[in-house]
Every structure is written in C-alpha cells, then in structure tokens.
Amino acid sequence: MDIDDLTIGEAKKLACLFNAKHEEKTGDCCHPMVGKRCLIRTYSAGVHIGDVVLVNGMEVQLKNALRLWKWEGGGLSLSAVANNGIVKGRLNKTGEVYLTNVIEFIPTTKDAEKTFAKFIED
C-alpha cells in the first residue's frame, strides 16, 4: 500500500498512533468506525446511513448521508438491513449531517448499499 492511497479514515488512525493527546481532547481520533460507511441508529433522530467522519462520545458526523424512513425485506433488525439490504423502502439524501444520541454503528456491505440506491427519493 502506498501512503498516497490512504483513505481519510486510515490517515486519521495513523495520525492517532502519533498523537494520543488529540484523542483525549476530541474523543474522535481512534474510533473504529471513523472512515467506514455505516448504518447509524439514534435515540430520537431515526436511522441514517453514511460515511463516518467524526465521533465524539454519542455524537457523530456523517457525509454522503441518507435517512432511512422505512424498509421492507432484508430482515427485521437493522443488522440485517446493513448486511443484506432492503427489498423496498424510502430513503432521502441528507448530504452532511451531525447526529446526537447515537446508540449503534453497523458497517454496511456493498451489496446492501446497492439496494439502498434503488429507493432514494429526492
């Protein structure tokens, strides 16, 4: 792997190895989900799917985000939705979003992402 090919998440993890004090101040540096595409469940803001760029305690910033309004198929659990995708549903683009009271991160699969794309409403 070439250093020029690192993702932002990988670069943050690498920087964290050399700057532990940054992690103590912000809480975001070494979170294992930074740099991953995840399904995020919150207490009161619903379910979102996006690229995790910042984690600070129970607060998360996503880019390229979608809000999942409803789904059918793929299973009852959000874990199944993140892994298998959906058969029918409603999602809308939110772009960048900052969420509070996050209670669950589930990395999504490429196969699941393909199914989400079919049901994005403008």
> Is 4 domain-assigned?
no
> Is 15 domain-assigned?
no
The answer to whether 58 touches 73, Cβ cutoff 8 Å, is no
> Is 57 domain-assigned?
yes
Q: Model-level pTM?
A: 0.76
pLDDT at residue 114, as a whole number = 96
Query: Model confidence at 23, in pLDDT bands (50, 70, 90)?
Result: very low
Instruction: Calculate what percentage of the chain has a pLDDT beyond 70.
Output: 82
Q: For residue 89, which phi and psi values (nearest 5 degrees)?
A: 175, -175
Model confidence pLDDT, tens digit, residues 91-118: 999 999 999 999 999 999 999 999 999 9
Q: What is the CATH number of the domain that holds 117?
A: 2.30.30.100
Model confidence pLDDT, tens digit, residues 34-92: 999 999 999 999 999 999 999 998 999 999 999 999 998 766 799 999 999 999 999 99
Number of structural domains the chain divides into: 1
- Dist CA 23 CA 40 (whole Å): 22
Query: Model confidence at 32, in pLDDT bands (50, 70, 90)?
Result: confident
- Which domain does 98 fall in, by range? 33-121
Which CA distances in Å does 104 have to 2, 42, 111, 120? 32, 7, 20, 22
pLDDT at residue 29, as a whole number = 57
